[in-house]
């Protein structure tokens, strides 16, 4: 091979290498300059992935859900496990989701009669997506149509003792925690004619921790960051902080504060607060005033506040839950010595400013 031919080959190779480097660097720069796609699983729950949840975060904290103006309640109101007191459990609606219509009709929406569902508490929040409700009772996950006429057990955990399973819905994904593993499925494409099988779901992540931590901090904190509506549901800048122990081991009073961006500090809105519900950027809270309870509001946007309801409840009665919709404020009253039990549910009409209905449970 002549020297000239070798030089041509070398020159061609150098030019080709230079072209590859230039093209590659431009592709790298383009990729680098493009905004990275957000991982929707790990966004803040109030980052407007689901504006509906963002608007009624407080209802999730109080075990209720508003869908198209209808309010759904699913909190157990009695001590569970009373196998010899089925009549009492049925009276208190332990296995029932209740619904309050915009016209004021309060009725049973769906009754769980699958096996021994009446003896167990609700194991998840009530979720709604595209015409169906989703909820977990003990080891079963249910899918209920919007009319409340049909329900399907879409998952049943048969793993036995130590097989810990919880679920939740984030955006259009259903996420299942099984021990330390997390799996998910796309609800838009999933075939709902068959029960969920973990083997058909996509693996999300494995949280490395001991089994003792499954029911404690590590997995629970991770789950709260992934799933809507688990425990604390205050929007950014709202602080509902434990204040003091009051009267029993079960009932705590709180301080309610908001962050003032101008002053760059937390500002106390109220003390001695039992319950908080943030609905459409307005804080509704139940405050202890002597032997009475006042339900008040504070607008996060307009900085306006006022008093709505005064309840002469007596020294031993507290508000256990506070639910808000466009039409109603619903609160549950019970003895402070009992952690969960409720004596009365009151439905207060926001348009008339009067109590519309009271339901006695004792």
pLDDT in tens, 118-146: 566 677 888 899 999 999 887 889 999 99
Where is pLDDT greater, at 270 or 81? 270
Q: Which tens digits make up the pLDDT trace of 299-339? A: 999 999 999 999 998 888 889 889 999 999 999 998 877 66
Rounded to 5°, angle at Cα 43 from 200 and 237: 145
Count CB atoms within 10 A of the CB of residue 4. 8
Q: CB–CB of 154/141 below 8 Å?
A: yes
Question: How far is it, in rounded angstroms, from Cα 89 to Cα 106?
Answer: 19
**CA 163, CA 179: separation in Å to the nearest integer?**
6
Q: 218 CB contacts (<8 Å, ≥6 apart)?
A: 207, 209
- pLDDT higher than threshold 80 for residue 199: yes
Domain ranges, ordered by start, for the chain? 1-36, 40-226, 238-360
- Max CA separation in the chain (angstroms): 108
> Quick one: pLDDT at residue 264?
80
Radius of gyration of the CA atoms of the chain, in A: 27
Contacts of 233 (CB under 8 A, 6+ apart): 45, 57, 58, 60, 61, 278
CA distances from 299 to 53, 281, 322 (A): 18, 6, 17
Give the separation between CA 239 and CA 271, rounded to whole angstroms.
Answer: 12
- Kindly state the DSSP code that residue 119 receives in the 8-state scheme: G
Handedness of CA 296, 300, 305, 308 (dihedral sign): negative
Reported as a pLDDT band with limits 50, 70 and 90, residue 249 is very low
- Locate tokens 């259903």: which residue? 174
Q: Give the phi and the psi of residue 26 in degrees, each rounded to 5.
A: -65, -40
Model pTM score: 0.77
Q: Summarize the confidence of residues 204-229 as an average pLDDT.
A: 63
**Among 142, 209, 154, which residue's Cα sits nearest to residue 179?**
209
């Amino acid at each position: 091979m002549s020297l000239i031919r070798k030089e041509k080959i070398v020159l061609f190779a150098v030019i080709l290498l230079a072209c590859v480097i230039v093209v590659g660097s431009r592709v790298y720069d383009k990729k680098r300059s493009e905004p990275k796609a957000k991982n929707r699983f790990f966004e803040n729950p109030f980052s407007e992935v689901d504006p509906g949840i963002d608007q009624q975060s407080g209802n999730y904290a109080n075990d209720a859900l508003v869908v198209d103006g209808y309010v759904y309640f699913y909190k157990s109101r009695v001590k569970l496990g009373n196998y010899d007191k089925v009549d009492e459990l049925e009276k208190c609606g332990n296995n029932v989701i209740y619904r309050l219509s915009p016209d004021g009709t309060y009725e049973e929406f769906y009754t769980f009669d699958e096996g021994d569902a009446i003896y167990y508490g609700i194991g998840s929040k009530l979720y709604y997506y595209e015409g169906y409700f989703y909820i977990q009772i003990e080891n079963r996950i249910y899918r209920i149509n919007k009319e409340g006429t049909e329900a399907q057990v879409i998952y049943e955990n048969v793993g036995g003792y130590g097989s810990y399973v919880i679920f939740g819905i984030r955006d259009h994904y259903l996420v299942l925690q099984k021990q330390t593993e997390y799996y998910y499925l796309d609800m838009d494409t999933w075939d709902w004619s068959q029960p969920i099988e973990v083997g058909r779901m996509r693996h999300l992540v494995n949280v490395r921790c001991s089994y003792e931590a499954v029911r404690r901090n590590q997995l629970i904190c991770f789950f709260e960051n992934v799933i809507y509506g688990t425990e604390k549901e205050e929007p950014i800048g709202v602080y509902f902080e434990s204040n003091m122990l009051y009267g029993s081991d079960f009932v705590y009073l709180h301080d309610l504060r908001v962050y003032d961006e101008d002053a760059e500090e937390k500002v106390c809105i109220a003390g001695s607060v039992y319950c908080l519900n943030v609905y459409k950027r307005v804080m509704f809270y139940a405050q202890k005033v002597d032997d009475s309870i006042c339900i008040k509001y504070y607008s996060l946007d307009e900085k306006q506040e006022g008093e709505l309801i005064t309840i002469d409840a007596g020294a031993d009665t507290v508000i256990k839950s506070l639910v808000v919709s466009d039409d109603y404020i619903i609160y549950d009253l019970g003895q402070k010595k009992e952690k969960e039990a409720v004596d009365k549910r009151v439905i207060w009409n926001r348009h008339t400013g009067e109590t519309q209905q009271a339901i006695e449970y004792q």
